[in-house]
Amino acid sequence: MSQLTEKKEAVTVVIVEDYKLTRVGLKSTLNEYEHINVVGEAEDATEGIQLIEKLHPNVVLMDLGLPGMNGLEATIKIKEKQADTKIIILTSHERGEEVIAALGAGANAYCLKDITPETLSEVIKNVAEGACWVDPAVSSVALNFFPKPENVTLMQTTEVQDARAQLTERELEVLRHLVKGKSNTEIAKELIVSVHTAKAHVCSILQKLCVDDRVQAAVKAIKENII
């Protein structure tokens, strides 16, 4: 484990990855960005959880295939104790069920390890601000695990209609941006409104969909064909 010099107002990050070469590469690359400060690293989930409890980072980069406790189990445990900590799954696993399981466990983003440093740095920044993100390379695969319209029961269809009816046209527009993983700042820019207004719309959406966070809202929107 290691701690580095703090950068003012930077997003603090802890890396949980069992391959040392990968950890070193990530730490070295990410610390080149002014808005990111890698404050610690761990080679397994148990060590990672202890480090996260100690350092309270804004974001955790979590591998799935860890020795002992896997990344999904670790994500659940971290979210139980520190719900505000954002978790980005960074893995080579591309199966749809793993994407869905990760989001269901509370992960805020799912990235493949061939992601470019620039894109990863932006994902970290946006996730820290409250966005969710799924790597485009696996998003279409993950969608195959949701019910197809022809298989949805009449009851489910009615529920979807009710959920959609509760949302205003503007909220549906904001929800579409949430599904795309955009932050409040990005949504505000797209809709030409203030960040405060965008945040208010997001809060209203979460309340109407009966979900706790943006990731759950995005998953529910796709799973239940609300948008």
Q: What integer pLDDT is reported at residue 225 of this predicted model?
A: 74
- Which residue in 52, 51, 112 sits closest to 84, CA to CA? 52
**pTM: predicted TM-score of the whole model, two decimal places:** 0.65
Please name the residue ranges forming H helices in the chain: 20-30, 45-55, 71-81, 96-105, 117-128, 136-143, 154-166, 169-179, 184-191, 195-209, 214-223
- Which residue in 161, 143, 35, 30 sits closest to 97, CA to CA? 143
Q: What integer pLDDT is reported at residue 31 of this predicted model?
A: 95
117-128 and 20-30 helices cross at what angle (nearest 10)? Answer: 70
Q: What integer pLDDT is reported at residue 5 of this predicted model?
A: 44
Q: What integer pLDDT is reported at residue 160 of this predicted model?
A: 46
List of domains in the chain: 11-143 (3.40.50.2300), 149-223 (1.10.10.10)
User: The tokens of 60 are what?
Assistant: 């955790």
pLDDT per residue as tens, the chain (227 positions): 444 445 668 999 999 999 999 999 999 999 999 999 999 999 999 999 999 999 999 999 999 999 989 999 999 999 988 989 999 999 998 888 788 888 888 899 999 999 999 999 999 999 999 888 999 888 777 666 555 555 544 444 444 456 666 888 899 899 988 887 788 888 999 999 998 888 889 988 888 888 888 877 887 787 777 87
Question: Please, how many CA atoms are within 13 Å of residue 169, restricted to the half-sphere of its CB?
Answer: 1
Q: How many CB atoms lie within 10 A of CB 95?
A: 12
214-223 and 96-105 helices cross at what angle (nearest 10)? Answer: 140
Q: What integer pLDDT is reported at residue 166 of this predicted model?
A: 81
